[in-house]
Copies of this chain bind each other. A is one copy, B any other.
Amino acid sequence: MSKVLIQMSMSLDGYVAGPNDNVLPLHEWMFAGPGSPLGEELPTPDQQIFNELRAVTGAMICGRRLYDITHGWNGSTPFGAVPVFVLSRSVPAAIPSGTTSFTFVTGGIVSAVAQAKDAAGGKDVYVVGGASIDQQVLDANLVDELRVDLVPVLLGRGIRLFEIVSWH
């Protein structure tokens, strides 16, 4: 049964992004070890967590802002050939070419989740963010699991997970 997952890296003081959307101090753990970023032999426990997420993910959902900030991961997300559904108000004229296929969904979050589930081949749907998308999918009661990876850094400023994610 396909689950809908949110998995976020959070600093010890509760931030999921620093000032100016900077997430590097929070995501370094994914890419810091030997064989990184995407070797098949990733030895550290941190990288095992990332590999586990990759292994269960059959499709991804992101928002248009995150897509734009990452420049569409330059065409290839760290999840390789897994399709990405981008919740968006419009379809961009050009899409960077790479290993990832992008579908732009203008019909809202419920439609995006349905399409991602269809595409996931029985694996899970990973909602990669950003914050607005996380909140929308939570508000629609479509999240099966929210995972927090606590990172032992202090950011002091930024966007707090539990200000953007509300609970009903």
Contacts and interface: CB of A to CB of B under 8 A. Distances in A.
A148 B12 contact: yes
9 contacts: A12-B162, A13-B14, A13-B161, A14-B160, A150-B150, A154-B162, A154-B167, A156-B162, A156-B167
A13 B154 contact: no
Q: Kindly report how many copies of this chain are found in the complex they form together.
A: 2
Interface of A: 12-14, 148, 150, 154, 156, 160-162, 167
A163 to B, nearest CB: 9
Contacts of A167: 154, 156
A167 B14 CA distance: 15
Contacts of A156: 162, 167
A115 to B, nearest CB: 31
A17 to B, nearest CB: 15
